[in-house]
Structure 1
Amino acid sequence: MSAIVYAQEQTLGAEDYIAVVGSTYMAERRPVGNVERVRRILTGSNMIVTARQDGKIVGVLRGISDGEWVCYVADLAVHPEHQGKGIGTGLLRKCKDLLGPGMGIVLVAYPEAVEYYRKIGMGEMPAFYFDREIRT
Structure 2
Amino acid sequence: MGENNVTQVWSDVIEPLNWDELSALYREAPLGDKKPADLKTVFTNSRFRCFVYENGRLIGVGRALSDGMDCSYICDVAILPSHQNQGLGQAIVAKLVALSVGHKKIILYAVPGKEGFYKKLGFKSMTTAMAIFSNEQGALDGGYVKEN
Q: What's the TM-score bracket when you normalise by the shorter of the two chains?
A: 0.7 to 0.9
Query: Is 1:90 matched up with 2:102?
Result: no
Task: Give the deviation of 1:133 after TM superposition.
Answer: 4.2
Contact 1:10 1:46 in 2 (8 A): no
Distance 1:93 1:10 in 2: 20
CA deviations 1:14-50 (Å, max 9, x no partner) are 22321321212311xxx42x33223222222222111
Distance 1:6 1:122 in 2: 24
TM-score when scaled to structure 2?
Answer: 0.74
Distance 2:123 2:8 in 1: 23
Structure ranking higher on relative contact order (CA contacts 8 Å, 6+ apart): 1
In the alignment, what sits opposite 2:37?
A: 36
In the alignment, what sits opposite 2:19?
A: 14
Contact 1:6 1:94 in 2 (8 A): no
Distance 1:44 1:24 in 2: 22
Distance 2:71 2:56 in 1: 30
Distance 2:13 2:92 in 1: 12
Task: Give the fraction of aligned pairs with identical amino acids, expressed as a percent.
Answer: 25
Distance 1:98 1:7, change over 3 A: farther
CA deviations 1:82-119 (Å, max 9, x no partner) are 000110111112222333x3134210112132121123
Distance 2:135 2:122 in 1: 33
Name which one, 1 or 2, has greater alpha-carbon Rg: 2
Distance 1:46 1:85 in 2: 26
Specify which of 129, 132, 142 is matched with residue 130 of structure 1.
Answer: 132
Contact 2:11 2:52 in 1 (8 A): yes
**Number of corresponding residues:** 130
Unaligned runs of 5+ in 1: none
Unaligned runs of 5+ in 2: 139-148
* Partner SS state of residue 122, structure 2: coil
